[in-house]
Amino acid sequence: MTDDIVLRTATPDEVPAVLALWARAAKGTSITDDADGVAALLARDPECLIVATRAGGGGALLGTVIAGWDGWRCHLYRLAVDPDHRRQGIGAALLAAAEDRFAALGGRRADAMVLDDNPLGQRTWTAAGYGPQPAWTRWVKPLSA
């Protein structure tokens, strides 16, 4: 990774920039991929959304990862790096920061949500030492407000 990359937690005023990055860099969307969803995430756990920027501030977001800890399990979401800044170690650094966060919180295993139709994401997670858990299927139900 280049020495001029800084990893830190996102701030509420960066929600629009986070959403813009995800629109460029992430595959697929979720029901909570909107300003209200990200704001609620940051209100619930202000340290869970880790971002990568250039040192010195003032620059655009280069990458993100959500390192969600519910007190029992460690969940990884939205590992995304701007397409113009990939292959520089930013994703690996974000993932290492997320794993460090989990270890500090007492987490023992991390899981990541990866779309079946996302070969780039699957290669990224495999290279980081993650693998699919074939015995499980995720069951979901959208909740009404």
Q: Give 32-59 pLDDT, tens digit per residue.
A: 788 999 999 999 999 999 999 988 766 7
Whole-number pLDDT of residue 141? 82
122 pLDDT above the threshold of 70? yes
Give pTM, 2 decimals.
Answer: 0.90
How high does pLDDT run on average in the chain? 89
* Percent of the chain residues past pLDDT 90, beyond the cut: 64
Ordered DSSP codes for the chain: --TTEEEEE--GGGHHHHHHHHHHH-SS--TT-SHHHHHHHHHH-TTSEEEEEETTS-SPP-EEEEEEE-SS-EEEEEEEE-GGG-SSSHHHHHHHHHHHHHHHHT---EEE---TT-HHHHHHHHHTT----TT------PPP-
Each domain of the chain, given as residue ranges in start order, spans 5-127
In this predicted structure, what is the pLDDT of residue 2?
63
Q: Are 121 and 128 in contact (CB under 8 A)?
A: no
3-37 pLDDT, tens digit per residue, is: 788 999 999 999 999 999 999 998 767 777 889 99
Identify the CATH assignment for 5-127 out of 3.40.50.720, 3.40.630.30, 3.30.230.10, 3.90.1150.10. Answer: 3.40.630.30
